Amino acid sequence: MAPAYRLRWMMQCLVAVAMMGTLCEAGHIALAPSLAPPCPTHCICLSQSQVVCNSATLRGVPSALSPSVTQLSLSRADLRVLRSDAFAHLRQLRRLALDACNLTRIRPFAFRGLPRLRELYIQHTPLATVDAFAFAALQNISSIILTHNRIAQIEGYAFAGTNFIKQISLRNNPIKRILAHAFSGLKDIVQIELPSGIRSIEPLAFAGLEGIGTLELAYMDLPAVLSDTFRGLTRVGRLALRESDLGIVRVGAFDGLQRVEILEMCNNKIDAVEELSLVQNNSVTTFRLTGNHMLETPESVVLEVEDIVIRGNHLPCECGRDPLANPLALTQEFAEENYCISPLKVRGRSLASAATAGAACRGESGGNARARAAAGAGAVRLGEALAIPHFALTMTAFAVLASS
């Protein structure tokens, strides 16, 4: 091939390659929009990663959503049942809102396959029950907000396998009963927020709940704190029972509770304490019993705890009994820092001053506060029964004197 012809051939090839590159680039620019998936019906795609589907006519999780979506709102959609693996096609999802969406049922493992999910909001829905395994297998989520629903019951293992979560909030739900193993499988959670008004906590209700920072149980109305209520609850930063009617603290209520930094019982009404036992196996570092009103003296108290605070409690005062003989007298200032709840004459006075004054006290009347109340009522009824014969006898005496 002649040199001139070869040079011309090479130039033509270079021009052809350049033209092909230009065409491909132009074609790429022209085709780019068509490669992006269309925004699903009833949704607004703010970007490839942010989608809002707040439509009451939407009856399911849109299947046409881009896998790149990281923030999704389905608030006010008509999603009545979430099936298992409902969002598995959205593995990049980080924030999911299902507020006010007519949700009544969450099937097991509904949120499985979301390794990057951090925030989950389900609020203002008719959801009444959290089924077993409904929130299972959420590995890296930070918060699950379940406030302002109609949740009355959490079934066992509802949160199984959900690790490293900061917060679960269940405030403003009509939960009356905590079932056994309701929080089993939760590990290294910072805080669980429960609603007020709980009336029953089953034995083993917190079994399998490990590494919780704070568990606060407040404004409850319990007939009793049952045996094994806290068995299986381990590695607790702070466990607080406060502002509640605890009824009767049964034998073994705190058995099986392990590795607790602070255990608080404050500002509660307690009918009776059959046993208050925190032995070394519980490994409680600090126990605080403050501001409680106890209708009866505890029957048995064993506190093998490093730091004990017993202050501001109101206890029955017994006639002729040294207040330091009380089973709770485990601190040096016990008699000065706790007060009489009965009898009436010494109510509100410190145990030490009531004992020193020698005032009338419970022992003079015999029995506990309830027995005295019953005896008082009986005395009133007996007085009423005797009133009519006594009046008749008096009138008869006046008649005899008049006739004589």
Average pLDDT over residues 18-29: 40
Phi and psi of 290, rounded to 5°? -140, 140
Q: Which residues, at least 6 apart from 200, have a Cβ–Cβ distance to it below 8 Å?
A: 176, 177, 178, 222, 223
**What pLDDT, on a 0 to 100 scale, did the predictor assign at position 378?**
40
Tell me what percent of the residues of the chain surpass a pLDDT of 90: 67
Between residues 385 and 266, which one has the greater pLDDT?
266
Q: Quickly state the pLDDT bin for 63 (edges 50, 70, 90).
A: confident
Cβ(277)–Cβ(298) under 8 Å? no
Reported as a pLDDT band with limits 50, 70 and 90, residue 6 is low
Strand order of the sheet with strand 245-249? Answer: 224-225, 245-249, 269-273, 293-294, 314-316, 339-342
- Alpha carbon distance 49, 64 (integer Å): 13
For residue 277, which of 295, 256, 248, 306 has the smallest C-alpha distance? 256
At 78 the three-state DSSP class reads coil
Of the pLDDT bands very low, low, confident and very high (cuts 50, 70, 90), residue 212 is: very high
Asked if residues 133 and 109 have their Cβ atoms less than 8 Å apart, the reply is: yes
Q: Where residue 271 falls among pLDDT bands split at 50, 70, 90?
A: very high
Residue 238 pLDDT exceeds 90? yes
Percent of the chain with pLDDT over 70: 78
Residue 58 backbone phi and psi in degrees, to 5:
-80, 125
Least confident of 71-85, 123-137, 256-270, 383-397: 383-397
Question: Mean pLDDT over residues 338-352, rounded?
Answer: 91
Look at the block and give the residue holding tokens 């079932």. 179
Q: Provide the pLDDT for residue 357.
A: 62
294-325 b/e with 16+ CB inside 10 Å = b? Answer: bbbbbeebebebeebbbbebbbbbbbebebee
How is domain 42-195 classified at the architecture level of CATH? Answer: Alpha-Beta Horseshoe (3.80)
Residues 88-108: tens digit of each pLDDT: 999 999 999 999 999 999 999
pLDDT of 36 reads 62
Mean pLDDT over the full length of the chain: 83
Q: Which two tokens stand for residue 212?
A: 């919780």
Cα–Cα dist 157/135, whole Å: 9
Please choose, from the candidates 319, 270, 275, the residue with its C-alpha nearest in 3D space to the C-alpha of residue 295. Answer: 270
pLDDT in tens, 132-147: 999 998 988 999 999 9
At 299-325, the pLDDT tens digits run 999 999 999 999 999 999 876 678 888
Q: Where are the domains of the chain?
A: 42-195
Contact 376, 362 (CB under 8 A): no
Instruction: Give residue 33's pLDDT.
Output: 44
On the question of pLDDT at 390 being above 70, the answer is: no
Separation between Cα atoms, residue 252 and residue 264, nearest integer Å: 17
Of 167-181, 309-323, 341-355, 364-378, which has the strongest mean pLDDT?
Answer: 167-181
- What DSSP string runs through 47-66? SSSEEE---TT--S--TTS-
In the predicted model, what is the mean pLDDT of residues 371-388?
Answer: 38
Distance, C-alpha 184 to centroid of its chain: 13
Q: What is the largest CA-CA distance in the chain?
A: 172
Task: Give dist(CA 253, CA 276) in Å, integer.
Answer: 8
In the DSSP assignment, the letter for residue 181 is: T
